[in-house]
């Protein structure tokens, strides 16, 4: 199922059930898993790995060099794309900057047309990046987060699982799990619609609401308040504890704030 005009390096590993369209390029050492589909003019760079059922659409490039001026192109690194992920037209995913490291796109993720995932990013399962979304280097995105069209996320930021970031937002600080971010580092509250759609239990939603109001107190440090809440031992759902634990980590040291 490889089109005669496609260029596939002899050292690439292409499963017999994969489809590679016209003028697609698969470079040395790339791995194309079972049931994958590369559309015409898609490019899979050296060392990139596609799990089962991945779709790479027209003119998408997976595994390109990082846009880091200090990067040595001789570094052996890769991109790993999880099962059933879909990368639409003109998507770009850059490989990691460190030897033997990987930029990761989680299973069942959808990267819409023109979105960009920079070097060393880690996307969880079921993440959606809408058209034109841009992630800087080392960004971590939790499971089932939705980042809308035109959003720019600064390097080293974390976007918590289950969160929703609305269109054209500018994010230079961490977005908590199940948060509803907008504008420039502003938080509208919790993503209650998303929680309901995912069938999250009422007890967990109640704990999230309590944790949200406990952490976001004007003039006080979110991390200190989150640590105190956890120490109290009154949070029993994974969602509630994960929300509080989020404030104890990260490299940015700042969090989007309620508008």
Active site residue 119: yes
Active site residue 120: yes
Q: Which residue of the set 106, 132, 137, 142 is catalytic?
A: 137
Q: Which residue of the set 120, 126, 136, 179 is catalytic?
A: 120
Distance of CA 51 to CAs 8, 20, 24, 223, Å? 17, 15, 18, 37
Listed residue (72, 145, 149, 167) closest to 157, CA to CA: 145
Q: Which residue of the set 94, 116, 119, 182 is catalytic?
A: 119
Active site residue 137: yes
Listed residue (177, 112, 88, 87) closest to 103, CA to CA: 87
Distance of CA 202 to CAs 110, 144, 206, 223, Å? 28, 19, 6, 25
Q: Which residue shows structure tokens 């499963």?
A: 15
- The set of catalytic residues is 119-120, 137
């Amino acid at each position: 199922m490889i089109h005669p005009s496609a260029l596939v390096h002899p050292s690439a590993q292409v499963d017999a059930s994969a489809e590679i369209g016209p003028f697609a390029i698969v470079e040395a050492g790339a791995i194309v898993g079972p049931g994958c589909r590369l559309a015409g003019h898609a490019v899979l760079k050296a060392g990139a790995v596609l799990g089962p059922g991945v779709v790479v659409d027209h003119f998408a490039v997976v595994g390109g060099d990082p846009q880091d001026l200090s990067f040595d192109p001789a570094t052996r690194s890769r991109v790993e794309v999880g099962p059933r992920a879909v990368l639409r037209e003109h998507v770009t995913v850059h490989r990691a900057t460190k030897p033997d490291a990987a930029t990761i796109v989680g299973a069942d993720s959808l990267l819409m047309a023109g979105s960009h995932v920079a070097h060393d990013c880690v996307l969880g399962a079921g993440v959606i990046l809408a058209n034109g979304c841009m992630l800087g280097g080392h960004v971590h995105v939790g499971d089932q987060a939705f980042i809308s069209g035109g959003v720019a996320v600064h390097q080293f930021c974390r976007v918590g699982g289950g969160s929703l970031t609305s269109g054209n937002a500018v994010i230079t600080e961490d977005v908590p799990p199940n948060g509803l971010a907008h504008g420039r580092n502003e938080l509208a509250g919790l993503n209650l619609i998303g929680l309901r759609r995912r069938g999250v239990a009422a007890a967990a939603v109640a704990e999230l609401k309590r944790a949200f109001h406990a952490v976001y107190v004007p003039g006080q440090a979110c991390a200190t308040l989150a640590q105190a809440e956890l120490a109290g031992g009154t949070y029993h759902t994974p969602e509630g504890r994960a929300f509080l634990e989020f404030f104890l980590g990260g490299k940015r040291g700042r969090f989007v704030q309620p508008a």
